[in-house]
Structure 1
């Protein structure tokens, strides 16, 4: 029986490299068949044109609508509430009766004052007659000097008593008139604090009342930002309930002291050209303009600001080749959601709004709009 010859060492080496050579050849062929990546592929980024602003915004604050004049209504005399003619929310006219107290005591006081006045007038008539008689007799030396002086004194006393009784009678008339609560201006009843049958003290509030006409917006400003606000400062007022309306306003009053609990300052703004659609209690969004607005400023979202060696900068999209360039800018004011720039950008230039730390200089991009409308610059 014969056996095949045993392979030599050289033959074994030749057979071992054969599979390796085949594998290397397949890898090279697969690599050559793949397409090389494009070096200039555009990367999508959120980029939009910047907007110019006509002035710096000192801040945005929530507020609510009030009447220019709001006050409590109360009786000027005490008594038991007999009738109430209006309810909260009703529009009233000047001179309209709103409520009434029991006038029994005031009627008696008026009758007493009338009787006192009639008696004083009778005494004055008698004193006047006596004065005229004694005057004629004194001129004829028929009475003494002392008697004439006594007559003059009685007449002066009767005249003063009549005047005093007349004043008391008019005061009693006023007291009776004060038992009816009247509207002193056109307006609306905002609240009620008394019910029929309740005994009220003079000056105790019965209704809350707001005048018709002028409207104001009240905002609470933190103590760290109140120094940016001044009397007469302009503002823009928008209301969620009236999306199609926008009003201009000016600061009328700044509280001299902070609220003890909230530590905020109450700022009152008078609304220009307020119309009937501006209802009391509506929620408002107030944008206060800086006292000294500068021209040529642009506003960008805070997310668009990049820092290069601690210096502010933005990524600008070159309109000719859509490549990015990092440009230094000068910040005039940092806001809650936006940044006001005084130099470095012009209105209309397109910048990267979000993802500023994921791009690089010279990178080619495709600008796209923010996925949410509220993220777009306002």
Structure 2
């Protein structure tokens, strides 16, 4: 009896051999050498302070403006100065009708003459009573009456002299004179008007210095205050320049524009920087500590901007979100997300994936944290900003 092979048994053998072949292939794949690390350029993060040149527009104003006014009321009969005129200390700028004050002055002088005569008479009477009292030829009541009369006459004389001084002051107050040199920038009365005390007659910009006045945004106030030098230039002629220092900052912002009034004292202002001229000022704005990375290092994730950070222990990369504060052609300023000493992929980050091994082939120079100056129009001369 001859042996025969079953077809089913042959098929099982073939399947077993196929399984062995597949298992052998998988084993070879598992023992294959890992992929080579991807070469990239890296940069080490170092903190820096972000510096920005903020250019504002303002105008030239006098450091001190003085409103001259009369101390008494009266009718203006003379005003020899006009807007734009230069005045010197003590120069007459306005005069009131002084007829009433001159009459009061004459009456006060007459009262002083009469009081002095009364003092002379009572003093002589007292001296006689004093001599008689020493010899015993008068009584004590007569002596005391003469003494009281002398003292009353002296008091009346003192009062009359005080009234004379007040009348002289009122007569002097009818003339309004400049207390310092400067330029007349405004007038408040005309000849023939009746003015009350304290009303502005003329406004004088004193010659004690000039200020460049700006309406600055809040970030400009981080420039260091009076220790920082502000670079000033004339808008109509940039070749005319000067230096200044912040002299005064408004304590609160304007309710409409949300800017702060900043007065910059000009050191040795050139003649072309006249009152009212438009001027530009460059403020160095310093921010908090930030880091700068090359533009090629920035990529994107689902959460927003991100960078590839290299783990020094394993040479693998991971994607980390960052907060970008400022974009510039020279670099990207990052405010949050990176720590000093972090190694960031600066070039070759296009085809990376989390956990991939990399090999540093060079260090890229860190980007600058000082972008190019940008201009911000704060206030044109004679026109407030509209926000």
Normalised to the residue count of structure 2, the TM-score between the two structures is: 0.60
CA contact (8 A) 2:65 2:205 kept: yes
2:217 is the counterpart of 1:228: no
CA contact (8 A) 1:66 1:215 kept: yes
Provide the C-alpha distance between the structure 1 equivalents of 2:280 and 2:328, rounded to a whole number of angstroms: 14
Counterpart of 2:240 in 1: which secondary structure?
strand
How far residue 188 of structure 1 moved from its aligned partner, in angstroms, is 0.5
Among 142, 147, 156, which residue is 1:152 paired with?
147
Q: Which residue of 2 aligns with 1:28?
A: none
Provide the C-alpha distance between the structure 2 equivalents of 1:87 and 1:284, rounded to a whole number of angstroms: 26
Taking structure 1 as reference, are residues 377 and 80 closer, same or farther at Cα in structure 2, changes over 3 Å only?
A: closer
Provide the C-alpha distance between the structure 2 equivalents of 1:88 and 1:109, rounded to a whole number of angstroms: 34
Residues 230-264 of structure 1: CA deviation (Å, up to 9, x unaligned): 64142222111342222111122222233344443
CA contact (8 A) 2:187 2:203 kept: yes
Taking structure 1 as reference, are residues 69 and 306 closer, same or farther at Cα in structure 2, changes over 3 Å only?
A: farther
Residues 323-352 of structure 1: CA deviation (Å, up to 9, x unaligned): xxxxxxx9998599998979xxxxxxxxxx
CA contact (8 A) 1:333 1:339 kept: no
Structure 1 segment 245-284 matched on structure 2, within 5 A: 245-284=240-279
Q: Which residue of 1 aligns with 2:18?
A: none
Q: Which residue of 1 aligns with 2:121?
A: 126
Counterpart of 1:88 in 2: which secondary structure?
coil
* C-alpha RMSD of matched pairs (Å): 3.9
CA contact (8 A) 1:63 1:218 kept: yes
Provide the C-alpha distance between the structure 1 equivalents of 2:202 and 2:127, rounded to a whole number of angstroms: 57
How far residue 290 of structure 1 moved from its aligned partner, in angstroms, is 4.5
- For structure 2, the 5+ residue unaligned runs are 1-48, 308-321, 335-349, 352-371, 376-387
Q: Which residue of 2 aligns with 1:165?
A: 160
2:202 is the counterpart of 1:207: yes
CA contact (8 A) 2:70 2:199 kept: yes
Q: Which residue of 1 aligns with 2:190?
A: 195
Taking structure 1 as reference, are residues 332 and 75 closer, same or farther at Cα in structure 2, changes over 3 Å only?
A: farther
Residues 129-173 of structure 1: CA deviation (Å, up to 9, x unaligned): 223222222222333333333322222222222122112111111
- For structure 1, the 5+ residue unaligned runs are 1-53, 313-329, 343-359, 362-374
How far residue 183 of structure 1 moved from its aligned partner, in angstroms, is 1.0
Q: Which residue of 2 aligns with 1:101?
A: 96
Provide the C-alpha distance between the structure 2 equivalents of 1:190 and 1:153, rounded to a whole number of angstroms: 59
Taking structure 1 as reference, are residues 334 and 269 closer, same or farther at Cα in structure 2, changes over 3 Å only?
A: farther
Residues 1-60 of structure 1: CA deviation (Å, up to 9, x unaligned): xxxxxxxxxxxxxxxxxxxxxxxxxxxxxxxxxxxxxxxxxxxxxxxxxxxxx9934743
Among 137, 145, 156, which residue is 1:142 paired with?
137
Q: Which residue of 2 aligns with 1:62?
A: 57
Counterpart of 2:268 in 1: which secondary structure?
coil
Provide the C-alpha distance between the structure 1 equivalents of 2:166 and 2:172, rounded to a whole number of angstroms: 10
CA contact (8 A) 2:220 2:283 kept: no
Q: Which residue of 1 aligns with 2:11?
A: none
CA contact (8 A) 1:77 1:202 kept: yes
Residues 255-301 of structure 1: CA deviation (Å, up to 9, x unaligned): 2233344443222221112233321011111222357999xx9x9xx
Structure 1 segment 367-378 matched on structure 2, within 5 A: none
Taking structure 1 as reference, are residues 144 and 89 closer, same or farther at Cα in structure 2, changes over 3 Å only?
A: same
Counterpart of 2:215 in 1: which secondary structure?
strand
CA contact (8 A) 2:53 2:373 kept: no
